[in-house]
Structure 1
C-alpha cells in the first residue's frame, strides 16, 4: 500500500474557443486547481498546483500595504520539457520571480527562514529594550 494517494481522474477543458472538449486527466491528489475553469489548448499544457501559502511583511510607514510578500505552493508540470519540472516541487515567489525548489531545497530554505526569524526576534528584543531605555 502506497503512502501517497494515487492521482484522481478529473474533468478538464481542452481546446481553442469554439472547439473545446472535456477530457479526464490524471490530477495530483494535492492539486487544488479546477481544470474545468483553467481551459488549456492542449492536455500537455495542464499543470498542477497545491494550496498556496504566504507571508506579508508590513511596514510602519504604510498602514494599507505590505512592503512585500512571499508565496509558496507545491507545483508540477507533467508534460514539461524539463524532467525536473515533471515531478512535484515547491515554487516560491515574490510575485515577480519564481524559485522552483526540490523538496530538499525547500527544507533547506525553510531551515534558513526559521533561523532568520529567530535572529529577527532577537533584533526585536534589542529594539524593544532600546526603546525602553530611551523613554
Structure 2
C-alpha cells in the first residue's frame, strides 16, 4: 500500500519544517551565526562545496583559500595540507563574503615573502615576492632586475553621477620596487592615483590619508543632508 503521509510530516504525525532555500537562509543569518554555527552546517545551508586541492597548488600564488560561486551553488578550495587549526578561520572568512550574486575571492597568506619564479632578460631566476603581490613575474619578463616590482590588487573610489554611470575618481594599491634604484620606493608602500597624478605613501602617510578620507566623507555626507533639506 502506498504511503500518503506528506513529506513534511514525520510518521509520528509531528510536522517537520522543510529547509529554507539557501538565499532565504542566508538573508536570515546574523554575523553571530556566521561566526559560531558549525562549519558543516553553514556549508550545507548555503550550498557550498568544500574542495581540498593538492599541497602547493594555492600556496604557490600566496593563496590559502579560494571562493567561487554564489549562495546555493559555490565552491571553496583549500589545500589538503592546511593545518586544522587554520582551516576554520579560512573557511569562515570565505563564507562571510558569500552573496546571491556570482563572484570569486581569494584569501591570501599574511606570511612574509616567498620565493617565486621570474624571468629577467629572458633568463629564469627566483626572487622574493610578498604574499600580496599578484603579478606573474615569469610573464612580465622584465629586461633587468631593477625593473622587477611588486603590485597588489587595486581598490577604487567610485563617484556616482547624475545622468550617468559611476566613475572611479581614485585608485589605491600596494607596491614595492624591491630591486629599484629609488631606496624610498623599495619597501612596501601605498600608491594612490587619479590616473594622472601618483602619490607614493609610507604606511604612516597612508593611515593619515585614510583619516583625511574619513573626515572628507563626513563633510560630503553633511552636504548631502543639507541638499536633501534635512
TM-score tier (shorter): 0.7 to 0.9
TM-score (norm 2): 0.50
Structure 1 outlier segments of 4+, above 4 Å: none
In the alignment, structure 1 residue 109 sits paired with structure 2 residue 209: yes
> Is the 8 Å Cα contact of residues 176 and 188 (structure 2) preserved in structure 1?
yes
Match 1:71 to one of 171, 191, 213: 171
For residues 119 and 193 of structure 2, what CA distance do their matches in structure 1 show? 27
Match 1:5 to one of 101, 105, 111: 111
Q: Which residue of structure 1 lines up, in the alignment, with residue 36 of structure 2?
A: none
For residues 207 and 112 of structure 2, what CA distance do their matches in structure 1 show? 24
Equivalent positions of 1:92-107 (< 5 A) are 92-107=192-207
The structure showing larger relative contact order (alpha-carbon pairs under 8 Å, at least 6 residues apart) is 1
Match 2:147 to one of 26, 36, 45: 45
Post-superposition shift, 1:65? 5.8
Name stretches of at least 5 consecutive residues in structure 1 with no aligned partner.
Answer: 131-135
RMSD (CA atoms): 1.6
TM-score (norm 1): 0.82
Name stretches of at least 5 consecutive residues in structure 2 with no aligned partner.
Answer: 1-109
Equivalent positions of 1:20-39 (< 5 A) are 20-39=122-141
> Is the 8 Å Cα contact of residues 117 and 126 (structure 2) preserved in structure 1?
yes
Give the aligned length: 121
